Amino acid sequence: MDGLMKRMQEAAAFLHQRTGSFSPEYGIILGTGLGNLVGDIEIAHEVNYSVIPHFQVSTVESHSGKLIFGMLGGKKVVAMQGRFHFYEGYTMEEVVFPVRVMKLLGIQKIFISNAAGSLQKDIEKGDLMVLNDHINLQPSNPLLGPNEYELGPRFPDPYHTYDRKLIKKALKIAKKNKIRCHEGVYVSVPGPMLETPAEYKYLHIIGGDAVGMSTVPEVLACMHMGLPVFAISVITDKGYPAEEIQPVTVEDVIAVAKEAEPKMTFILKELIAGL
């Protein structure tokens, strides 16, 4: 992590300069097919990743690659319209660099979304799932190497990683508005290929409720920095039971995510407005 704080400070200073006095209260990460939430933000500033010092560039379809600063639900937010993934060839430090910079910008909580596959019979395509825990099957994580004590402790405890109050509120909002929303365990895998039927079965057996290729690296960085996390998945395909598995393309995933996105957007807006 040599020079990490210096790089973070340079990126934050650049963004402060570009956005003037705008100081975000909350951060948002928008996953695959879920970038349209930006349409609900009263945009004050828009910055391409490509011009931000030490930021990488999104290479995945549907990830626009912009930081959006503006108002959502009456609160100041900064949203990542597109994230970085380990499978793109980035290091874990590069993957989580934006959330670390968001913390320097002053955010108090972060809201993370992703597209995921169901690992449970009763979690259907088009449903939502609020994360209450995770299983990390990524081959690396952003906390390996020398610890940056200005960010957090050497041995952080993930017991309270996911904000229980926000989970409870989100499920209440979903129930009140008749939105199918579950609570469960997200399994993070490296990708970029989807899982085999045997792998889906294995992930179900070890306790997973949904599987995806992101989120946990950012969550670990947030947990390390003491930043409360709310995370939600849009279920785009079925991996369990075996007889319900169908071939899936990235276009299929994006199409289902976009169809279900308004439900996720509604919950996030209500949560943020109530903070």
**Per-residue confidence (pLDDT) for residue 36, from 0 to 100:** 83
Q: What is the DSSP string of 145-156?
A: SS--TTT--SS-
pTM metric for this prediction: 0.95
Residue 198 burial (CB count, 10 A):
9
**Per-residue confidence (pLDDT) for residue 140, from 0 to 100:** 96
Per-residue confidence band for 82, with pLDDT thresholds at 50, 70 and 90? confident
Rounded to the nearest 10 degrees, how much is the dihedral formed by the CA atoms of 231, 236, 240, 245?
Answer: -160
List pLDDT tens digits, range 173-183: 999 999 999 99
Q: In Å, what is the CA distance from 80 to each residue of 35, 74, 172, 230, 235?
A: 9, 18, 26, 15, 20
| pLDDT > 90? residue 32 | no
**Per-residue confidence (pLDDT) for residue 235, from 0 to 100:** 97
Gap between the Cα atoms of 258 and 263, Å rounded = 10
Residues 133, 24, 87: CA angle, nearest 5 degrees: 45
Which amino acid type is present at position 185?
V
List pLDDT tens digits, range 200-242: 999 999 999 999 999 999 999 999 999 999 999 999 999 999 9
Q: In Å, what is the CA distance from 8 to each residue of 18, 53, 98, 144, 242?
A: 15, 9, 9, 18, 45
List pLDDT tens digits, range 110-143: 999 999 999 999 999 999 999 999 999 999 999 9
**Per-residue confidence (pLDDT) for residue 62, from 0 to 100:** 55
Residues 234, 33, 221: CA angle, nearest 5 degrees: 70
Q: Which of 30-34, 145-149, 203-207 has the lowest mean pLDDT?
A: 30-34
List pLDDT tens digits, range 38-56: 999 999 999 999 999 999 9
Per-residue confidence band for 58, with pLDDT thresholds at 50, 70 and 90? confident
Residues 164, 165, 169: CA angle, nearest 5 degrees: 115
**Per-residue confidence (pLDDT) for residue 31, from 0 to 100:** 86
CA 72, distance to chain mean position in Å, is 17
Q: 20: exposed, middle or buried (C-beta count within 10 Å: 0-12, 13-18, 19+)? A: exposed
Contact 123, 234 (CB under 8 A): no
Gap between the Cα atoms of 270 and 235, Å rounded = 20
Write out the two tokens for 12. 């934050």
Gap between the Cα atoms of 143 and 145, Å rounded = 6
Q: What is the mean pLDDT of the chain?
A: 94
Mean pLDDT across 76-95: 95
Instruction: Give the whole-number percent of the chain exceeding pLDDT 70.
Output: 97
Cα atoms in the Cβ-side hemisphere of radius 13 Å centred on 138: 25
> What domains are defined for the chain?
4-273 (3.40.50.1580)
